[in-house]
Amino acid sequence: MSTHRAASLFPAVFAAILLASSCGGASRTPVVTDLAMPAPTAATTAPAAPEFPYPAAPRSDVVDNYHGTEVADPYRWLEDADAADTAAWVTAENELTFGFLGTIPERERIRARLAEVWNFERYGVPHREGKRFFFQKNDGLQNQSVLYVADALDAAPRVLLDPNTLSTDGTVALAGYEVSDDGNHLAYGLATSGSDWNEWRVREVATGKDLADSVKWIKFSGASWTKDSTGFFYSRYAAPTEGGALEETNYFQKLYFHKIGDTQEQDTLIYERKDQKEWGFGANVTEDGRYLVITVWAGTDPKNQVFYKDLKAKKNVVIELITGFANGYEYVGNDGTVFYFRTDLDAPRGRIMAIDLAKPDRKNWKEIVPQAAETIDGVTALGGNKLIVNYLKDARTAVRIFGLDGKHVRDVELPGIGTATGFGGRRTDKETFFAFSAYTAPPTIYRYDLATGAAVVHRQPKTVFDPSGYETKQVFYASKDGTRVPMFVTSKKGLVLDGTNPTYLYGYGGFNVPLTPSFSPAVAVWLELGGVYAVANLRGGGEYGEEWHKAGTMLKKQNVFDDFIAAAEWLIANGYTTTPKLAIGGGSNGGLLVGACITQRPELYGAALPDVGVLDMLRFHKFTIGWAWIDDYGSSDDAEQFRALVAYSPYHNVKEGTHYPATLISTADHDDRVVPGHSFKFAAALQAVQTGDRPVLIRVDVKAGHGAGKPTSKLIDHVADKWSFLVKVLGIALPVPQ
C-alpha cells in the first residue's frame, strides 16, 4: 500500500503489528514457583540490601498449568491497567522514579542540549499527486510534523494539515495519509495518545477544509483511492466493547470501500472471512485503476496471500491469485494483466517476478530480477520501464536500477555508509526523490533524474551538532555458535580503547526488521556526552533475508540473545568499555531482548533500558494484536514452544538473590500494542528480588503509546531521563561546557 505514514516505528505492515529448557517430572506436576527458577548461588548473591523504598506490590497466588507444568504469576493483578490498585501502584512508582531522576544535577543540562540538537528543520521526502507536491516538515521543536502542499516544486508551500492544532499537548498525531489521484482530496488518519486505533477523515486540498466523512476503528491499514478519486479502500475491526479498546484482542478485520460524502454505515463491504479470524487485508489500487490488489496477512510473518478484484467488473468478485501463506509477495506494479512482485519464493534474499493474470499458473511465472548476494529491502516501478531496487549490503543501503526486462541500468551513487529511503512516484514520472542519512548525518533530500542518473540536493538540514569529530565503523564478531554478526560502532574519532568509555549497545532482532544507519538527536547528544553508540544486527532481523530472520524465531529465539551477549563481550574484549560502563537498550521486541539478556547474564552489564517490552512470553498473545507475534515467538499453548518460551521469558526468569544491573523500564498508559502490564509485572518482580544498591525503576508515560506519533516534547523528556539515568548509574562525567 502506498499510504504515506507519519513517524512509523516499523517499515512494513507485518512489523507494524508488533511491532518478534525443559521442565518436567514423572511422578508429580512440576512447579515453577515465585518466578525464581534455580536457587541463589554465590555468583548471583550480593550482600547489601536494596536502598530504594519500592512501592508495595502484593503477591497473589495465581498459578497456571501449562502442559503439566504449574507456573506462578503473582503479579497478574497488574495486567488490569484500569484497576484502582494498579493505578495507585503506577502513581507510587512514578513518584519514586521521577524523585530519583530529579536528584540528578546533570538532568536539566542534558535536556537543554537535547532541545538544542533537536531544533532543526526536518523535511520529509516530497511526492507529486496530480499537479501538486506534498511533503511533511517540522520546524524543529514542533510536537508533530506539519503536512504541506505546493503547486510546484519551487512554489511557496502552504499548510494543508497541522496536527499541532488538534491538541494542546501534541498527543494527536498524523498516523498516515493518502492523496487522491487528481490531487484534490486528502484522506488522513489520526491517532490519539499513541493508540494504534485511527480515525480517518477527508480534507479538500484546495480549501483545507474537512468534509463530513469519518471512518473509525481502523488499525494496521492505510487508504487507497480509486482512479476516479471518488473514494478509497480501507480495513477496519469491529468497535471494541466499552472500556476494552486498549486491551481486547483484534480479530476479523474487514475490507471496505468508502465513497466521499457517505457515512461509514453506508460503506461497501469488499471482503471478509468469517472463517479466518486472524486474516487481515491491505488494499492497493493499481496505477491504471483497473484492479484492486488485496494483500492477505495473518500475523507478523512476512508470508502472505494475494487476491485481486477487477474494479470494472459489475459483481463484487474477489479472485484468489496466490494462496497458502508459503512465501512473501509485495506488489510492485502492473502492465495490464501482468503483475510484478517482490518475493522470497525460492529466494530468501528476494527476487522480482512477473505473473500474468491471464496465465496465473506457477509454471508461467517469470523471473525479472534474480536473487543477489544482498537482500532486497524495497522495490518501486518508476520512470517508464524502470525498477528501483533498494538492497541491504551488510545492513547498509545499496540502490540499483533495472529495466522491466531485468537488465541492469545503473547503480545509484550514495554519499557513504547509511540508509536511503524514498524513491516513490508513478510510472509516468521522470524524476523521484530520496533521503539519505547516517548515524552522524541527518537526512538530506535528493532530487534524482531517472533518465540521466543525476542526483542534486533538494533539502539539506543544518544542525548545531558537529559530526566532523565522530566516525562510524562496521565490525563483525562471532556469536556463541560461530555465526558472523555485523555491528555498527559510532564514537569520537581517535577513541582511546582503554575500557573507560560509557557505551550504549542497542538491538532489536526480530520480525524481519533490519536496523540500518539513521540520524537521531538522542544519539548525537549521547556521543557529545563521550558515549559510544553500538548497534548490533542480530539474527531475527531482516538484514540478510528470510534465513537470517528465521534463525532468530520460535525455538531458535535464543540465538538473538546469544548474538547480543556476544556483542557486549566483543565491546569489552576490544577495549571499548567494561561492565560498569556498559548499558544495553531496546524497545518493543528489543525490550524483550534487554529483559532476556539481563536475566540470563546480569553480571555483564552496568545498566539496562528496556522500553515498552514484551516481557511475559506466556501471555502476550492474549492482548490486542499480540496473537500476531506467535509467528516469531511461538505460543505457550503449544507444549514444545512453551518450554522454549518459559526458558527465556524475562518475567519468569527473575531470580532471588541476584544483583541485577541498574534498570530503567519504560512504558506508557495508552500502549495498546504491547500492553503496559508486561512492564508493570517485570518491574514488580525485579524490585522484589533485587540485591545491592542498583536501582530498578519504572517510568510510565501518560497519554502516550507504543512510540509512533509521540510528541517531540515527550521524546525529549524521555531521552533526557534515560541519559540522565545512565550518567548517574554509570558514573559519567559530563564534558566541561565550551
Catalytic positions are 588, 706
- 437 and 443 in contact (C-beta within 8 Å)? yes
Q: How many CB atoms lie within 10 A of CB 453?
A: 13
Which amino acid is it at 20? A
Quote the CA–CA distance of 679 and 93 in Å, as a whole number. Answer: 12
3 state SS of 297: strand
Quote the CA–CA distance of 384 and 403 in Å, as a whole number. Answer: 9
Quote the CA–CA distance of 103 and 149 in Å, as a whole number. Answer: 46
Quote the CA–CA distance of 7 and 137 in Å, as a whole number. Answer: 12
C-alpha cell at 267: 460503506
3 state SS of 721: helix
What residue ranges in 205-267 does DSSP mark as E strands?
A: 210-218, 224-225, 231-236, 254-259
Q: Which of 289, 229, 278, 234 is nearest to 256 (CA)?
A: 234
Quote the CA–CA distance of 653 and 394 in Å, as a whole number. Answer: 34
Quote the CA–CA distance of 66 and 678 in Å, as a whole number. Answer: 19
C-alpha cell at 23: 521442565
- Burial degree of 482 (CB within 10 A; 0-12, 13-18, 19+): exposed
* Residue recorded with cell 535536556: 111
Quote the CA–CA distance of 279 and 700 in Å, as a whole number. Answer: 33
- 75 and 684 in contact (C-beta within 8 Å)? yes
| CA dist 356 → 255, 291, 332, 374 (Å) | 25, 13, 14, 27
Quote the CA–CA distance of 431 and 458 in Å, as a whole number. Answer: 12
Quote the CA–CA distance of 446 and 508 in Å, as a whole number. Answer: 29
C-alpha cell at 606: 552496568
